[in-house]
Amino acid sequence: MNGVISNVSAGGASITFDTFIPLGKKVSLSFNLRQGADLKNLTATVIRVQDLQDSFQIALQFLDITQEARDSIEAVINDIYFLKGIKLFTNISHDEAISLKAMGKEVRYKADEVVFIEGSEGDSFYAVMNGKVRITKKSNIDSKSDEVLALIREGEFFGEMALFNEGKRSANAIAHSECVLFVLTVDDFNRLDNENHKLAVRILVEFIKTLARRLKTMNQEMVDLLFSETPIRDVNEGKK
């Protein structure tokens, strides 16, 4: 009997099953949380059942769990909550977070190390696990200096256009401090699309919503700039 994890901790799990399991029943569980974190034959007891009309959400309490299993679960939980802490992935399930985390990789950068440069080919999406990244672009006034466009903080993301269009980067990304980034390449995302199409579509929808919000903000900033109050001087002022 297969189920979908909606929540997991070292003490238990909440799993959605197609089949009803009565309260108090003891079950044996096997988890494929991620590569290197397979947990087999964990004994658990049913402590709560919620009818979801076409399925059942079963809350299970682990019994006699080993420290090794606890450590494996805690490591996966850290991955899950990191991804769900990113605005783009807030609404994905624990199971989906596990799948998504397995697709990408973590990359460390030192302060002032270049992530990518303006004009390079874009092939990856980045999310900040910790630290900060600054987005810069050549100044129109002084070609020898860069203008800081944004500072990307923990839980935020950048470079997402690479997943839509494999074009050239429109700006530079530089580690503002020592940081760790979660990187998802175009190939990773295509693999996700093949293995979990529904999740890939949901992520694309969230991308579109984010882009729409950014465009709305940019449009408002332009309106504010164009129609900001500026003193109007009478051309005849001072004339006699």
Residue at 23 is within a domain: yes
Q: Find where tokens 């397979």 sit.
A: 38
Q: What is the C-alpha radius of gyration for the chain, rounded to an integer number of angstroms? A: 24
Question: Exposure of 40 by Cβ count < 10 A (0-12 exposed, 13-18 middle, 19+ buried)?
Answer: exposed
End position of a domain, from candidates 54, 76, 98: 76
CATH number of the structural domain spanning residue 20: 2.40.10.220
Q: How many other C-beta atoms are found inside a 10 Å radius of the C-beta of residue 198?
A: 9
End position of a domain, from candidates 185, 203, 225: 185
pLDDT tens sequence across 198-233 = 888 888 888 888 777 767 766 665 666 566 555 545
Report percent pLDDT > 70 for the chain. 84
Q: Find where tokens 């839509």 sit.
A: 164
Residue at 224 is within a domain: no
Token representation of residue 89? 């992935």
Range of the structural domain that residue 160 is part of: 106-185
Task: Specify the pLDDT at position 232.
Answer: 47
What is the edge-to-edge ordering of all strands in the sheet holding 179-185? 105-109, 179-185, 124-130, 157-158
Round to whole Å and give the CA distance between 75 and 79.
Answer: 7
Round to whole Å and give the CA distance between 9 and 76.
Answer: 9
pTM: 0.68
Centroid of chain to Cα 148: 23
Q: What is the sign, positive or negative, of the torsion defined by CA atoms of 58, 95, 81, 43?
A: positive
Q: How many domains does the chain fold into?
A: 2
Q: Are residues 170 and 110 in the same domain?
A: yes
Name the pairing type of β-strands 179-185 and 124-130: antiparallel
End position of a domain, from candidates 185, 201, 235: 185
Task: Specify the pLDDT at position 73.
Answer: 80
Q: Do 155 and 85 meet the contact criterion of CB atoms below 8 Å apart? A: yes
Average pLDDT of 176-205? 89
